[in-house]
């Protein structure tokens, strides 16, 4: 399994990348971790004429944080860096969990946060927590920069809004609300190296009373071409005092909202059911964490 | 189009003509003749081709050789000491019966090294997570986990790297 | 017979190839490069069943770097591991019968060019209807025929009758009849098939290096396909990266490398991609089984009726052998006085099934151990008690004439039950948690060669001299199981020296003496006999010399710890090396040659004294036994099964290398757990495999490793060399039924098809719930 011939570029700055993508257009592909791109090239699903390797561009890497404003994660930041970041674990736990569950140690050392979103696989691990955490992406071109929510960036299976000449440069994560918590989980056959049959992230914030749901984001993966926000389910809980009955209602609503397909990994029916299971478990965990209740002791 | 690149493998610098499309696994095996790095699937699923790049475990079957310039590449051949003595992880694999057919072994040992370099006393769960990307079909993993744990103890008590 | 006090046998020593393997210096076939070597690649069919109308490779030949292309016509002789059913060809001739079958092969200056050339080979096909299900294949045989000489799309069908099962069933108190279906699984060894052929045109000699577990059978098949005498072909094994039966036949990689090499007069290497490993398969046969078991009022088995349809895929392979093994496996490890087996192996348009670790045993064992679990409930006793009642004992002769010289099966059951606390837990754990027990056995070698020759199955030559020390020659195949280490230990034991001082030359048909290969768990036993035989000759010669040096009679000498000494006056002693030195100086190199021929046991219905078709298959010089107890937690919401603990106890006779035995057992447990819970090759409606990768074909990772507690029970088979039995295939037998029984104990559902996926578990739980509420509602 060999790759097609291509010309290789390893720019050092964002400006150089923009220059290259502007010049080379759709015949070029951005090489970040390569864990998806190179496999697709090996399987001859893609035959780009140019590869632009962005791993040497320091300004696209790393995690920074400013209290009150939130975190900024460069597009070329490795999943393993996110997995091991104390800051991410403390502030954006669902993302930390998703990063830790992605592929294997090798894949996490290679793959990047930006790659995981730009590849736009419906089963991707990090987009659901990012969307749940309210992440925005920064898209840059020679013309300038724009910010948009990640859920608007991912359009479908392997489709994003990225137009010719544009690249994704970073993720902006807002400061988590007080008394909030986020959780992520997935359903797969094995406990490693899985393509998730279903995954989900929940980000829940409580009012000062520690019981009423102030805001909630529930995002499901692998049950729709894009990370799917469970709007109905959220509506059931927002503004209400969190309780078992409403949680169950929300879980059922999420299950109805899911739009899964049957494939080699799971049937649509099973996926739909698992949405309810994940919703129940994650809502409970997130509520416990946000309210300061001990886990599992609600 | 071939270009001459410089790769640092096991502390030795090689000048190698490559095409941009050449994968690290092929360059290491065919051009540098370090055949300890194995190819079990070619799709990043089995971990047999694992090498360390700047200490991180990387799947060389889905890594471009040209992208590895300026980095420190370690293959299994780079672990034996100058005097021929086995690295503690290698010794531990031999002593614990963690090797059968040996095809996963180089990648498995390199994943272990990356893990132990960061934390020489990992829990059993951490070891399993650390090697979850390395498929072994012979041993059932039990002896591998034991070998890594014991090697970690040796390393932390002797301070070997 | 008391177990002797061994010093080399019974020691957990590190394997002799360990250091090279951990250093990355062990050389596997694909690591080899020869001067002028070319690379071969195989063009494969996108159709599962089609007539090849035309192959045009002129454009491929025009690609710079391409040296030659061959098609089926270049080597059309039919080969097959079982000569009576040989129907495979190196590359398809006239027709393809499964997705991925090779139709042409290219040799080029590098692998990349060879791969690119494949796209330039134009093949015109006329697609034929595709048969993927064995029932459908039999039903539609009039309309669609996969092989011209198999009008019913059946390779072979057989019936075996022992005693009078119908009469026995009529008298039984408890009778249970059930159907079971097993899945389509692959070995997933880590090293893909690879072969390097070097044909020397001037001398007409062919040197092959191949990743095979049967150098001898590969040797024979090469001779057939290439029309060359075996003495012009040499097969050499570099390190082998796992096999598990998947390298237990020649592969098209071997033939294509050899044919291309002969055509172009230079070495050619063919290494498969992972997808090609799946496409050429030879994995476990999916079995569609009906089993009926009858017990008397006290719970003793009176009769078994077994019907098995094996889905064989496109070609014969090991098929007929696997088929009759499934029939033989109902006769042990329990006493079965009456039995009938009706078996048939059916062709379908799938990658061919073949031999896979524990072949022929895993499927019927699954059915039988699950049914006995269920029948124990009918009788009102624990499955442990039922199995203890029926377990065979040393010296048992089955109604099919299988002879069990020695067994510690009951000790295996007892040990596992005690260590796991099975009796305290079974039936008493909270809903969702369960514990399951199953037993099993396997052969330690076969009674016959596959081509009806009655020559010795293994020959060992031991060479001793001052220069080389001790070298054991045998063309056995160390495929990772560690036979070289075990042979060194056994030779050292018999010669009275240390295993570290024994060199083993194996895996070569020229420098090694004859051996049939690594399959049927035969090697420790077979080589053990031959080693003892050869070593006895060496010892005799050396004792004669040592006697003069020590000053006592040769027959009063013992050899131990590298010394000859008088057993009556131990102070009279001399170092082993000194004796060898004197012998070498006086006579020259000393050799001893030992042979192993298994007993020629016959498959007979002992109640009638009549030969039974196919029942010679299943006989073995001795058998290994084991018991496994699995504890599982079922997630009642997701259906996911988490294995909490496995307790195993095995009778492998005297363990030559206990650490190595444990490795075989642990490996077997995870291997079979994959089939029980995760693995299955899937085909689309056209027969194309949709998960031919390690991405979607899910073998267990380290994350799936449960707590495993293994025990090698104290055992010594007095009829076996060093008291040994098998240990590499028996332990896969109990796994699947033990898991299934544990799941039943957890949720009250008995699964009869594999793998037991979370989705199936959840569906079953729901059906059970619906049934319960229906019952309580009425």
Distances (CA, A) of C191 to A41, B75, C271: 23, 18, 10
Q: Provide DSSP, C245-280.
A: TTTSS--HHHHHHHHHHHHHTS-EEEE--HHHHHHH
pLDDT level of residue C776 (50, 70, 90 thresholds)? low
For range C226-236, the mean pLDDT = 98
Supply the pLDDT for residue C775: 73
Distance from CA of C358 to the nearest CA of A (A): 24
For A103-134, what is each residue's pLDDT tens digit?
A: 999 999 999 999 999 999 999 999 999 999 99
Distance separating alpha carbons of residues B69 and B6, to the nearest angstrom: 6
Find, among A298, A290, A294, the residue nearest to A179 by Cα.
A290
> Is B146 within 8 Å of B120 (Cβ atoms)?
no
For residue range B12-66, what is the model confidence (pLDDT) as tens digits?
999 999 999 999 999 999 999 999 999 999 999 999 999 999 999 999 999 999 9
Q: What is the CATH number of the domain that holds B23?
A: 3.10.20.30
- Domain assignment present for B12: yes
Above 70 in pLDDT, residue C1? no
Residue B58 falls within a domain, yes or no? yes
Please check whether residue C760 touches A, CB under 8 A. no
CB–CB of C433/C633 below 8 Å? yes
C32-128+207-223+236-271 CATH choice from 3.40.980.10, 3.30.470.20, 3.60.20.10, 3.90.1170.50: 3.90.1170.50
Question: What is the band of C452 on the pLDDT scale with cuts at 50, 70, 90?
Answer: confident
Cβ <8 Å between B63 and A51:
no
Mean pLDDT in residue range C656-660: 98
DSSP assigned state of C306: E
| Out of A35, A80, A192, closest to residue B132 by CB | A192
| Closest chain B residue by Cα to residue C276 | B41
> Using CB atoms, which chains have 3+ pairs under 8 A with C?
A, B
**Which chains does A contact via 3+ CB–CB distances below 8 A?**
B, C
Q: What is the mean pLDDT of residues C559-563?
A: 95
Is it the case that residue C2 has pLDDT exceeding 80?
Answer: no
pLDDT value, residue C777 = 56
- Is residue A235 predicted with pLDDT exceeding 60? yes
> Which of A45, A101, A197, A273 should one mutate to test binding to chain C, selecting the residue with the greatest count of C CBs within 10 A?
A273
Residues B106 and B47 in one domain: no
Distance CA A30, CA A16 (A): 13
Give B3's pLDDT tier (boundaries 50, 70, 90). Answer: very high
- Distances from the Cα of A70 to the Cα of A130, A134, A169, A206, B104, angstroms: 13, 11, 16, 19, 43
- E strand residue ranges, B10-77: 12-18, 50-53, 56-59, 72-74
pLDDT of A298 reads 34
Of C238, C235, C199, C201, the residue nearest C220 (C-alpha): C235
Average pLDDT over residues A140-161: 96
CB contact residues (below 8 A), chain A span 231-290, against chain B: none
Q: Is residue A93 part of a domain?
A: yes
Q: Shortest Cα distance from B29 to chain A (angstroms)?
A: 15
pLDDT above 90: percentage of residues in chain B: 97
Residue A107 belongs to domain with CATH number: 3.30.465.10
pLDDT category of residue C774 using cuts at 50, 70 and 90: confident
Reported as a single tens digit per residue, the pLDDT across C704-749 is 999 999 999 999 999 999 999 999 999 999 999 999 999 999 999 9
Q: Looking at the partner chain, which of C662, C667, C705 has a beta carbon nearest the beta carbon of B138? A: C667
Residue C362 tokens read as 């895993």
What percentage of chain C carries pLDDT values higher than 70?
99
Does the beta carbon of A251 lie under 8 angstroms from any beta carbon of chain C?
no
Last residue of a domain, one of B78, B109, B128: B78
Q: With an 8 Å Cβ cutoff, is A4 touching chain C? A: no
pLDDT score recorded for residue A295: 43
pLDDT in tens, C274-283: 999 999 999 9
Would you call C758 and A2 a contact, using CB atoms and an 8 Å cutoff? no
pLDDT in tens, C129-178: 999 999 999 999 999 999 999 999 999 999 999 999 999 999 999 999 99
Q: Does residue C33 sit in helix, strand or coil?
A: coil
Domain boundaries, chain C: 18-24+455-596, 32-128+207-223+236-271, 287-442+620-771
Mind telling me how many Å the CA of C119 is from chain A's nearest CA? Answer: 12
Residue A1 lies in a domain: no
Is residue B67 assigned to a domain? yes
For chain A, the domain total comes to: 3
In CATH, the number for domain C287-442+620-771 is 3.30.365.10
Q: Residue A39: inside a domain, yes or no?
A: yes
Q: Report whether pLDDT(A294) > 70.
A: no
Q: One fold for both C18-24+455-596 and C32-128+207-223+236-271? A: no
Interface test with B, best of A39, A106, A110, A191 (most B CBs within 10 A): A106
The answer on pLDDT for B157 being more than 50 is yes
B154 and B101: one domain? yes
- Chains B, C: CB contacts within 8 A come to 175
Residues A185 and A220 in one domain: yes
Query: Could you tell me which of B92, B107, B110 has the C-alpha nearest to residue B146?
Result: B92
Which of C116, C638, C701 lies at the smallest CB-CB distance from A192? C701
| Any A CB within 8 A of C759 CB | yes
* Average pLDDT of the segment spanning C369-373: 98
Interfacial A residues in 186-205 facing C (CB < 8 Å): 187, 189-193, 195
Q: Please tell me the distance from the alpha carbon of residue A130 to that of residue C680, in angstroms, as a whole number.
A: 34
Query: Mean pLDDT over residues C633-644, rounded?
Result: 97
pLDDT in tens, C278-301: 999 999 999 999 999 999 999 999
Domain boundary among B31, B51, B78: B78
Q: What is the pLDDT of residue A297?
A: 34
Instruction: Characterize the bridge pairing of strands C205-210 and C233-236.
Output: parallel
The answer to whether residues A69 and A144 belong to one domain is yes
- C18 contacts B93? CB cut-off 8 A: yes
CATH number at residue A208: 3.30.390.50
Q: What is the mean pLDDT of residues A278-288?
A: 97
A109 and B CB contact within 8 Å: yes
Which pair of tokens denotes residue C489? 């230990």
Whether residue B100 sits in one domain with residue B59: no
CATH number at residue B96: 1.10.150.120
Last residue of one domain, picked from the residues B78, B97, B130: B78
Sign of dihedral through CA atoms C494, C499, C505, C506?
positive
- Asked whether residue B93 falls in the same domain as residue B124, the answer is yes
Q: Among A148-152, B94-98, C568-572, whose mean pLDDT is lowest?
A: C568-572
The distance of Cα C270 from the centroid of its chain, to the nearest Å, equals 24
Q: Do B74 and B92 fall within a single domain?
A: no
Q: Which band of pLDDT confidence, cut at 50, 70 and 90, is reported for residue C772?
A: confident
Inter-helix orientation angle C362-379/C735-747, to 10°: 40
- What pLDDT sits at residue C249? 96
d(CA C547, CA C550): 5
Domain-ending residue, one of A174, A191, A217: A174
Q: Do B11 and B60 have their domain in common?
A: yes
CB distance A116 to A77 below 8 Å? no
Q: Which residue, among B89, B100, B125, would best test binding to C if mutated, counting the most C CBs under 10 Å from its CB?
A: B100
Grouping H, G, I as helix, E, B as strand and the rest as coil, residue A193 is coil
What are the tens digits of pLDDT across the range C387-415? 999 999 999 999 999 999 999 999 999 99
The whole-number average pLDDT for the span A232-256 is 97
Is the pLDDT confidence value at A296 over 70?
A: no
In total, how many domains does chain B have? 2
Average pLDDT, chain B: 97
Secondary structure of C525-572 as H, E, C letters = HHHHHHHHHHHHHHHHHHHHHHHHHHCCCHHHEEEECCEEEECCCCCC
Q: Is A76 in the same domain as A41?
A: no
Nearest CA-CA partner of C518 in C245, C196, C250, C729: C245
- One domain for residues A261 and A191: yes
Which pLDDT belongs to residue B161? 57
Encode pLDDT of A162-215 as tens digits.
999 999 999 999 999 999 999 999 999 999 888 889 999 999 999 999 999 999
pLDDT digits (tens, 9 = 90+) for C295-324: 999 999 999 999 999 999 999 999 999 999
Residue range(s) defining the domain that contains residue A214 = 180-291
What mean pLDDT value characterizes chain C? Answer: 97
Q: How far does the CA of residue B60 sit from the closest CA of chain C (Å)?
A: 15
The class (CATH top level) of C18-24+455-596 is alpha beta
Non-local (6+) Cβ contacts of C510 within 8 A are C234, C236
Task: Provide the residue range defining the domain that includes B44.
Answer: 3-78
- Band (pLDDT 50/70/90 cuts) for residue B160 is low
Alpha-carbon Rg for chain C, nearest whole angstrom, is 27
Residues A128 and A165 occupy one common structural domain:
yes
Distance in angstroms (rounded) separating the CA atoms of residues C487 and C724: 12
Which tokens hold the place of C17? 């190839």
């Amino acid at each position: 399994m060999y790759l097609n011939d291509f010309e290789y570029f390893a720019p050092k700055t964002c400006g150089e990348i923009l220059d290259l993508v502007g010049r080379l257009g759709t015949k070029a592909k951005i090489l970040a971790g390569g864990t998806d791109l190179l496999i697709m090239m090996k399987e001859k699903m893609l035959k780009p004429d140019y590869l632009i390797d962005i791993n040497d561009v320091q300004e696209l890497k790393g995690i920074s944080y400013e209290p009150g404003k939130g975190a900024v994660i460069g597009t070329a930041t490795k999943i393993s860096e996110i997995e091991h970041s104390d800051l991410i674990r403390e502030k954006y736990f669902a993302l930390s969990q998703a990063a830790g569950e992605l592929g294997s140690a090798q894949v996490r050392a290679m793959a990047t946060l930006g790659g995981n979103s730009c590849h736009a696989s419906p089963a991707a691990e990090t987009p659901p927590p990012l969307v749940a955490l309210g992440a925005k992406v920064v898209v840059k071109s020679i013309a300038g920069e724009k910010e948009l929510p990640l859920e608007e960036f991912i359009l479908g299976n392997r489709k994003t809004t990225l137009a010719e000449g544009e690249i994704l440069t970073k993720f902006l994560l807002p400061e988590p609300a007080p008394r909030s918590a986020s959780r992520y989980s997935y359903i797969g056959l094995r406990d490693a190296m899985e393509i998730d049959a279903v995954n989900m992230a929940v980000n829940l914030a409580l009012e000062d009373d520690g019981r009423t749901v102030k805001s909630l984001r529930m995002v499901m993966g692998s049950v729709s071409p894009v990370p799917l926000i469970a709007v109905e389910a959220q509506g059931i809980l927002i503004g209400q005092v969190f309780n078992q009955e409403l949680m169950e209602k929300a879980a059922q609503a999420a299950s109805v909202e899911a739009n899964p397909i049957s494939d080699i990994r799971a049937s649509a029916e099973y996926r739909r059911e698992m949405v309810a299971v994940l919703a129940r478990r994650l809502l409970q965990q997130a509520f416990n964490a946000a309210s300061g209740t001990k886990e599992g002791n609600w | 189009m071939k270009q001459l690149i410089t790769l640092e493998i096991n502390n030795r610098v090689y000048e190698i003509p490559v095409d941009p499309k050449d994968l690290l696994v092929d360059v290491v095996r065919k051009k540098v003749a370090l055949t300890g790095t194995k190819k079990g699937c070619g799709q990043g699923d089995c971990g047999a081709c694992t090498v360390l790049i700047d200490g991180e475990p990387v799947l060389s079957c889905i890594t471009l050789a040209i992208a590895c310039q300026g980095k420190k590449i370690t293959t299994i051949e780079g672990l034996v000491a100058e005097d021929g003595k086995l690295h503690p992880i290698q010794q531990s694999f031999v002593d614990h019966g963690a090797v059968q057919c040996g095809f996963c072994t180089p990648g498995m040992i390199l994943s272990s090294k990356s893990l132990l370099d960061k934390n020489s006393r990992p829990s059993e769960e951490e070891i399993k997570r650390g090697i979850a990307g390395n498929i072994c079909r012979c041993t059932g993993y039990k002896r591998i986990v034991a070998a890594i744990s014991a090697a970690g103890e040796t390393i932390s008590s002797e301070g070997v790297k | 017979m008391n177990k002797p006090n061994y010093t080399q046998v019974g020691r957990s020593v590190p394997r002799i190839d360990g250091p090279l393997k951990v250093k990355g210096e062990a050389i596997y076939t694909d690591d080899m490069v020869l001067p002028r070597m070319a690379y071969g690649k195989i063009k494969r069919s996108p159709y599962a069943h089609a007539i090849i109308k035309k192959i045009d490779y002129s454009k491929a030949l025009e690609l710079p770097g391409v040296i030659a292309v061959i098609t089926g016509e270049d080597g059309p002789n039919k080969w097959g591991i079982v000569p009576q059913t040989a129907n495979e060809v190196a590359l398809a001739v006239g027709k393809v019968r499964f997705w991925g079958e090779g139709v042409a092969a290219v040799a080029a200056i590098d692998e990349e060019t060879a791969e690119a050339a494949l796209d330039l080979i134009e093949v015109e096909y006329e697609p034929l209807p595709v048969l993927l299900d064995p029932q459908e294949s039999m039903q539609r045989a009039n309309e669609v025929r996969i092989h011209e000489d198999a009008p019913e799309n059946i390779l072979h069908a057989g019936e075996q009758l022992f005693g009078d099962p119908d009469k026995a069933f009529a008298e039984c108190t408890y009778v249970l009849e059930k159907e079971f279906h097993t899945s389509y699984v692959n070995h997933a060894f880590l090293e893909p098939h690879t072969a390097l052929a070097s044909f020397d045109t001037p001398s007409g000699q062919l040197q092959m290096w191949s990743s095979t577990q049967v150098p001898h059978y590969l040797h024979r098949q090469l001779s057939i396909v290439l029309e060359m005498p075996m003495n012009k072909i040499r097969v050499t094994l570099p390190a082998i990266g796992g096999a598990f039966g998947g390298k237990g036949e020649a592969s098209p990689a071997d033939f294509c490398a050899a044919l291309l090499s002969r055509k172009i007069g230079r070495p050619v290497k063919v290494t498969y991609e992972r997808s090609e490993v799946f496409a050429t398969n030879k994995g476990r046969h999916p079995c569609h089984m009906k089993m009926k078991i009858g017990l008397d009022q006290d719970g003793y088995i009176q009769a078994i009726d077994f019907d098995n349809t094996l889905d064989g895929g496109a070609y014969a392979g090991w098929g007929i052998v696997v088929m009759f093994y499934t029939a033989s496996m109902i006769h042990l490890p329990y006493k079965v006085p009456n039995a009938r087996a009706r078996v048939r192996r059916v062709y379908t348009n799938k990658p061919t099934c073949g031999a896979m670790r524990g072949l022929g045993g895993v499927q019927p064992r699954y059915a039988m151990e699950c049914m006995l679990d269920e029948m124990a409930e009918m009788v009102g006793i624990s499955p442990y008690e039922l199995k203890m009642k029926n377990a065979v004992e040393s010296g048992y002769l089955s109604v099919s004439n299988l002879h069990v010289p020695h067994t510690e099966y009951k000790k295996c059951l007892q040990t596992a039950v005690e260590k796991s606390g099975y009796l305290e837990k079974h039936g008493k754990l909270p809903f969702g948690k369960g514990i399951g027990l199953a037993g099993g056995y396997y052969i330690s070698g076969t009674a016959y060669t596959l081509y009806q020759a009655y020559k010795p199955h293994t020959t060992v030559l031991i060479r001793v001299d001052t220069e080389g020390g001790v070298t054991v020659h045998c063309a056995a195949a160390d495929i990772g199981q560690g036979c070289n280490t075990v042979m060194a230990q056994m030779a050292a034991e018999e010669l009275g020296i240390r295993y570290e001082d024994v060199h083993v030359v194996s895996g070569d048909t020229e420098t090694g003496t004859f051996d049939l290969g690594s399959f049927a768990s035969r090697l420790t036993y077979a080589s053990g006999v031959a080693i003892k035989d050869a070593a006895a000759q060496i010892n005799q010669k050396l004792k004669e010399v040592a006697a003069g040096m020590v000053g006592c009679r040769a027959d009063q000498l013992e050899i131990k710890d590298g010394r000859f000494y008088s057993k009556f006056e131990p102070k009279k002693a001399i170092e082993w090396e000194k004796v060898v030195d004197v012998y070498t100086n006086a006579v020259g190199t000393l050799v001893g040659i030992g042979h192993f021929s298994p007993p020629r046991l016959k498959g007979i219905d002992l109640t009638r004294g009549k030969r039974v078709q196919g029942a010679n298959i299943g006989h073995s010089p001795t058998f290994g036994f084991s018991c496994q107890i699995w504890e599982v937690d079922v997630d009642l919401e997701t259906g996911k099964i988490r294995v909490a603990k496995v307790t195993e106890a095995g009778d492998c006779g005297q363990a030559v290398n206990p650490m190595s035995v444990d490795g075989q057992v642990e490996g077997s447990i995870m291997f079979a757990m994959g089939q029980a819970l995760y693995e299955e090759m899937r085909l689309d409606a056209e027969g194309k495999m949709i998960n031919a990768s390690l991405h979607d074909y899910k073998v267990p990772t380290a994350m799936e490793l449960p707590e495993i507690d293994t025990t090698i029970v104290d055992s010594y088979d007095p009829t076996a060399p060093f008291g040994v039995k098998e240990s590499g295939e028996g332990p896969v037998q109990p796994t699947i039924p033990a898991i299934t029984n544990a799941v039943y104990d957890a949720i009250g559902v008995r699964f009869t098809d594999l793998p037991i996926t979370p989705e199936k578990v959840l569906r079953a739980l729901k059906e059970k719930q619906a049934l319960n509420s229906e019952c309580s509602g009425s």
